[in-house]
Amino acid sequence: MYDVLADRKNESEDPSGCGPLLPTDSGDSRPLRQQIFEHVRAAGRAARTDVTRALGISAGSATTLTADLISSGLLREVEGLPRESGRGRPPVALEVVPSARHVIGIKLSDENHSAVLTDFAGQMLADATLPTTPTRKSIDELLEEIDVLMGLVLKSAGKSLADVSAVGVGMSGIIDNDMGAVAWSPLLTEPNVDLRSAFAERFGLPVHVDNDANVLTLAELWFGAGRGMSAFAVVTIENGVGMGVVLDNRLFRGARGMGLELGHTKVQLDGALCRCGQRGCLEAYLADYALAREAATALHRNPRNQQSPNAMLDALFAQAKAGNTAARTIFRRAGRYLSVGLSNVIQLFDPGLIILSGERMQYDYLYAEEVLAEMQSLTLSDGRTPCRVEIHAWGGLAWARGATALALAAVTDDALGDART
């Protein structure tokens, strides 16, 4: 199990850095000064000689551009790298000035919203959670809850909204990242919501919104196991089923920024009803509400019982572990559908790693050996190394931290992307 939200290191320790560690294979169109900045941030600390080697630039260019970044207040010099020969003065290193920018990352969900405040070096300064009712809300109601949530995280850090450069938001649904619009979300009462404009009008800040599976994938790419991988997939199982994919060390969103909806791929014609309104979606066999729908029958619960899906599923899992045949059948059937979905992911994208994440990963039936064996049997991979699968049962704040990566990338583009050098 991998937890990226471990306690932050003391300031006296070397920073571990954040952001992708590998270069892309398709060239890099970003300004050189931005590439230098992002290399230093990814490394945590880097000497100018490291920068020249990593980016293949001259020492003169590195000196000139790092001097510009220092004068702009984005990088600073520190002594902290080990001496190569063991003698003499330690080499001067560069690191990001953490206080240069601050961003907030937010994860919106059915029962608990979460937020993280991060500095420009990617260090988490504060976090907050806000319980919410599991009902669809209008955009005004959702913005009101975001207002309360941001107030909590800012108060915890001793900051104000004026200290924040941008906000990243992850939520379930069909999200147009380029436009900042929500085509459809189970959290909202109305479709086609211009969240970017509504957010800016209320808070006077830019917001960058994406599907929640994408922001969790960004958390892996920026802070987790995916930092040194060029191709991997993240499949999430919670209130819905989501997926994010990294190809060539970049998050892949599709032509219109709204692809990779694994939960709404069809696994059964005229099958179970999905909350999107269509039938036969993978999500309709795996998500919380799908399992809770069958749990009520297996546990002989009154359909009018208002017990939450989480409580229902915990009771179902306990019954399965105690030997209840009906309860075990529900989880095993869900596991078989998951194996179909994972096999399709492998056939389509050929990732080096699939990370299974989300709250439902506490139920080991969903990743039992027979589930992974069936996934492999459904995949045309004779003679090839099977795709590796890992379970990352992250807490809720990891999603919000992934949303900070969304905001950090945008703020970095704004600060450095317009330069011509």
C-alpha to C-alpha distance for 168 and 404, rounded to whole angstroms:
6
C-alpha to C-alpha distance for 4 and 237, rounded to whole angstroms:
19
Q: Give the per-residue pLDDT at 417.
A: 78
pLDDT-wise least confident of 81-90, 124-133, 345-354? 81-90
The answer on pLDDT for 420 being more than 90 is no
The answer on pLDDT for 39 being more than 80 is yes
Q: How confident is the model at residue 255 (pLDDT cuts 50, 70, 90)?
A: confident
Q: Give the per-residue pLDDT at 244.
A: 95
Q: What is the phi/psi pair of residue 330, to 5°?
A: -65, -45
The vertex-129 CA angle with 291 and 116, nearest 5°, equals 110
For 116-126, what is the mean pLDDT? Answer: 98
Q: How confident is the model at residue 8 (pLDDT cuts 50, 70, 90)?
A: very low
Asked whether the beta carbons of 397 and 404 are under 8 A apart, the reply is no
pLDDT, tens digit (0-9, with 9 covering 90-100), for 362-396 = 788 888 889 999 999 999 877 778 889 998 876 77
- Please name the residue that has the structure tokens 């690191």: 95
pLDDT, tens digit (0-9, with 9 covering 90-100), for 123-162 = 999 999 999 998 999 999 999 999 999 999 999 999 999 9
For the chain, percent of residues with pLDDT exceeding 70 = 90
pLDDT, the chain, mean: 88
| Furthest C-alpha separation in the chain | 76
Q: How confident is the model at residue 11 (pLDDT cuts 50, 70, 90)?
A: very low
Q: How confident is the model at residue 15 (pLDDT cuts 50, 70, 90)?
A: low
Q: Give the per-residue pLDDT at 1.
A: 32
Q: How confident is the model at residue 293 (pLDDT cuts 50, 70, 90)?
A: confident
For 107-112, what is the mean pLDDT? Answer: 91
For 85-97, what is the mean pLDDT? Answer: 76
The answer on pLDDT for 202 being more than 60 is yes
The answer on pLDDT for 59 being more than 70 is yes
Q: pTM of the prediction? A: 0.88
pLDDT, tens digit (0-9, with 9 covering 90-100), for 393-411 = 767 799 999 999 999 999 9
For 260-264, what is the mean pLDDT? Answer: 89
Residue type, position 84, single letter:
E
For 274-287, what is the mean pLDDT? Answer: 91
Q: Give the per-residue pLDDT at 312.
A: 82
Q: How confident is the model at residue 2 (pLDDT cuts 50, 70, 90)?
A: very low
Token duo for residue 80:
């902290």
Asked whether the beta carbons of 270 and 261 are under 8 A apart, the reply is no
Asked whether the beta carbons of 30 and 39 are under 8 A apart, the reply is no
Q: Are strands 353-357 and 232-237 parallel, antiparallel or unpaired?
A: parallel
Q: Taking each helix axis as running N to C, give the angle between helix 309-321 and helix 288-298, from 0 to 180 degrees, rounded to the nearest 10.
A: 60
